[in-house]
Amino acid sequence: MPPYASESLGKESHDLFLNIMPRSVDGAIIVGAGPSGMATAACLKEKGVPSIVLEKAECIGSLWKHKTYDRLHLHIPKEFCELPLMPFPASYPTYPNRQQFLDYLEEYARHFDIQPHFNESVQSAHYDESSQLWRVNTQTTGKSSCNKIEEYTARWLIVASGENAEIVTPKLPGMKDYQGDLLHSSKYKNGSEYVGKKVLVVGCGNSGMEIALDLANFSAKPSLVVRGPVHVLPREIFGTSTFSVAVKLMRTFPVWLTDWLLVFYTWLTLGNVANYGFNRPKEGPMELKDKVGKTPILDVGTLNKIKSGHIKVVPRVVSLTSSGVRFENGLTDSYDAVILATGYRSNVPRWLKGEEKFFADDGFPKRPTTNGWKGEHGLYAVGLTRKGLLGASMDARNIAEDIRKAYDTRNLVSRASEIL
């Protein structure tokens, strides 16, 4: 049977993979060619462990390339965002921009000779008890796709599909009735087409805040929905990144004292942000990040635009109307466009089967006290600890070392059996 057949189309997805000759991978299968997947492939290569990288898009770092806005910069210094074994170029600024980060990823792949299998979307993966191997089924994607299907087998499977694999779009009453532009933030590039227009940004994470700022800079009339308590911190403290300061403080002080110092300095520099619609959570910023992975907002100028009246803060949206929205306080307003900065989610539950012990329903690993990157039967997760690029790099190093030990042991046993 050929690797694809027209009569297979339209059947249940698992039927597509019947009788396909699997392609054996000597080392590990990595799902995802974003920063996490690249970091893990490089660390494995450095330790002599082969791997293949499966990527559904046509490029490395597809989220950064296709689903980010033009003015995006890293929100924390580059030294906390570099991947293992290769720093950012010294010529890069403290906060590299979107294109610089993409260039870095491309050079990283060239340097370590990582050649992902592009346009190959993982449809399912499961552990086969009989062979003690992972079976990963893929299907081609892209405009020129001919629905080619493949099956790969390997001793190790590394989930590197990321925290932001799929967009999250809230289902609000009236969405079908709204006559203006309605888009997810992944489609937003810049404010050039919104000059003079009223635009509502739903969501006040770092992306929502920066999109509102970008709109204001393009002379739009943005409003920003603040749905609940959130920490707003300055990006820098005394000329040093707030993240760097927090890391140094936590080396000496407990989290609660670090949080108190961060909030106190924020009050001194930004004032009482509650006066502008940002109520603080009961937990401190670092405690909240550690508990639930919620990242504090690092302000890059949005708050000044709010103070000056160029950005309006509004309450939660309960429904859309033909011309605008209705807020939870009962008031309505009209908008030319609504941008949903409502984030992303993991897509792991869609394709990884039978691993409920390791992954929760939200597609993130359950939170064990140690080795949160390691599952059973050679299953690993990288970049899913809600600790950003720094956490992904740490995961990649740990995973590569763990697999290296098992890989070397397997090869020793194999050579010994050949001698005997």
CA angle 54, 55, 57 (to 5 degrees): 160
Let me know whether 102 and 176 are in one domain.
Answer: no
* 420 residues of the chain, pLDDT tens digit each: 333 333 333 344 445 555 567 899 999 999 999 999 999 999 999 999 999 999 999 999 999 999 999 999 999 999 999 999 999 999 999 999 999 999 999 999 999 999 999 999 999 999 999 999 999 999 998 766 567 889 999 999 999 999 999 999 999 999 999 999 999 999 999 999 999 999 999 999 999 999 999 999 999 999 999 989 999 999 999 899 999 999 999 999 999 999 999 999 999 999 999 999 999 999 999 999 888 888 899 999 999 999 999 999 999 999 999 999 999 999 999 999 999 999 999 999 999 998 888 888 888 888 655 677 999 999 999 999 888 999 999 999 999 999 999 998 877 666 666 665
What residues contact residue 200 under an 8 Å CB cut-off, 6+ apart?
A: 222, 223, 225, 314, 317, 324, 325, 333, 335, 337, 338, 339
State residue 371's pLDDT score: 74
State residue 143's pLDDT score: 66
State residue 355's pLDDT score: 85
Let me know whether 147 and 53 are in one domain.
Answer: yes
Let me know whether 150 and 291 are in one domain.
Answer: no
Let me know whether 106 and 185 are in one domain.
Answer: no
Let me know whether 147 and 232 are in one domain.
Answer: no
CA separation for the pair 30, 51 (Å, rounded): 7
CA separation for the pair 200, 410 (Å, rounded): 57
Give the end of a domain, one of 293, 314, 343.
Answer: 343
Let me know whether 12 and 141 are in one domain.
Answer: yes
Let me know whether 158 and 269 are in one domain.
Answer: no
DSSP 54: E
Residue 190 CA, chain-centre distance (Å), reads 21
Does the CA dihedral 85-90-92-96 come out positive or negative?
positive
Question: Which residue range is the domain that position 37 belongs to?
Answer: 6-165+345-419
Let me know whether 338 and 235 are in one domain.
Answer: yes
State residue 361's pLDDT score: 85
CA separation for the pair 406, 412 (Å, rounded): 10
Classify burial at 242, counting beta carbons within 10 Å of its beta carbon; exposed 0-12, middle 13-18, buried 19 or more: buried
Let me know whether 95 and 40 are in one domain.
Answer: yes
Let me know whether 21 and 45 are in one domain.
Answer: yes
Let me know whether 323 and 358 are in one domain.
Answer: no
Neighbours of 331 (CB within 10 A): 10
Residue pair 31/7 in contact (Cβ under 8 Å)? The answer is no
Q: Tens digit of pLDDT for each residue in 24-73?
A: 999 999 999 999 999 999 999 999 999 999 999 999 999 999 999 999 99
CATH number for the domain that contains residue 282: 3.50.50.60
286 by DSSP, 3-state: which?
helix
Let me know whether 205 and 68 are in one domain.
Answer: no
State residue 169's pLDDT score: 94
Length of the chain: 420
> How many domains are there within the chain?
2
State residue 13's pLDDT score: 44
Domain assignment present for residue 1? The answer is no
What residues contact residue 67 under an 8 Å CB cut-off, 6+ apart?
A: 164, 167, 186, 187
Q: How far apart are the first and last CA of the chain?
A: 39
Give the end of a domain, one of 295, 312, 343.
Answer: 343
HSE-CB for 368 with a 13 A CA cutoff: 12
CA separation for the pair 266, 264 (Å, rounded): 5
Q: Which CA distances in Å does 29 have to 49, 150, 183, 311, 388? A: 11, 13, 34, 46, 22
Q: What tokens appear for 266 in the block? A: 């924020």
